[in-house]
Amino acid sequence: MSEMLTPKKNAINHGTMLGLMLGLSTTLMYALNAELFLKWWVGILSLLLVIAMGIISTAKSKGLLGGFMTFKEAFTAYFITTAVGLAISTAVGILIFTVIDPELASYLNEQSLLMVQDMMARFGAPQEEIDKAIAEAAQVDNFSIMSQAKSYFSLLIFHSVLGLLIGLIFKKAAPTV
């Protein structure tokens, strides 16, 4: 006997799939080419994947509810999906960068400093500004547990705002009798 799929279970399932996809992509980047962690387009693709899975989950939940959905139900479906997916992805990142290969985190931090220096030089920033920015950026470990947790919560806030918009788009009141 199978249990009926509810919108919350649906969102958790989609969030788990999202987390596994993001975790797999992180693992593949680690195994194949760690320089991909520094590419801006990788972040954009990950962001688009999270948004797409959140929308898919919300649409599926609306179908489970017979095509009618309150704003709260739509927001909840999107939020749960993104929260679960990003939590799994963050856990994989913490595992890789703090347990498995902390040296990679140091290397990527150094490379990002070089990228900042190069970009500022290309934009014609004075050397004293470049030195100041590099000194400030060198104080931050982008791959520490705390930095990854902050990133998770920042992304959660961003996706909460986006979830509000998705909720508005997907809400549809049931006809009154």
Q: Which residues are paired to 172 by β-bridges?
A: 69
Mean pLDDT of 48-53: 97
Q: What is the pLDDT of residue 150?
A: 96
CA nearest 162: which of 92, 85, 75? 75
**Quick one: what percent of the chain has pLDDT higher than 90?**
75
Q: Kindly provide the b/e burial profile for residues 51-90, where b requires at least 16 CB atoms within 10 angstroms of the residue's own CB.
A: bebbbbbbebbbebbeeebebebbbbbbbbbbbbbbebbb
This prediction has a pTM of 0.88
Mean pLDDT of 108-125: 87
Q: What is the pLDDT of residue 134?
A: 85
Enclosing H/E stretch for 170: helix 145-170
CA 99 to chain centre: 21
CA nearest 75: which of 168, 173, 154? 168
Q: What is the pLDDT of residue 1?
A: 40
Q: What is the pLDDT of residue 11?
A: 96
Q: How does pLDDT run across 79-111, given as a tens digit for each residue?
A: 999 999 999 999 999 999 999 999 999 999 899
pLDDT at 2 over 70: no
CA 10 to chain centre: 19
Q: What is the pLDDT of residue 75?
A: 97
Mean pLDDT of 162-167: 96
The encoded tokens of residue 55 equal: 């929308």
Confidence grade of residue 36 (pLDDT, cut at 50, 70, 90)? very high
Average pLDDT, the chain: 92
Residues sharing a CB contact under 8 Å with residue 53, sequence separation 6 or more, in sequence order: 14, 15, 17, 18, 21, 81, 82, 85
pLDDT at 137 over 90: no
CA 3 to chain centre: 30
For the chain, domain boundaries: 7-99+143-170
Mean pLDDT of 41-61: 96
CA 42 to chain centre: 11
3-state secondary structure of 24: helix
**Quick one: what percent of the chain has pLDDT higher than 70?**
98
Query: What is the distance between the alpha carbons of residues 71 and 62, in angstroms, rounded to a whole number?
Result: 11
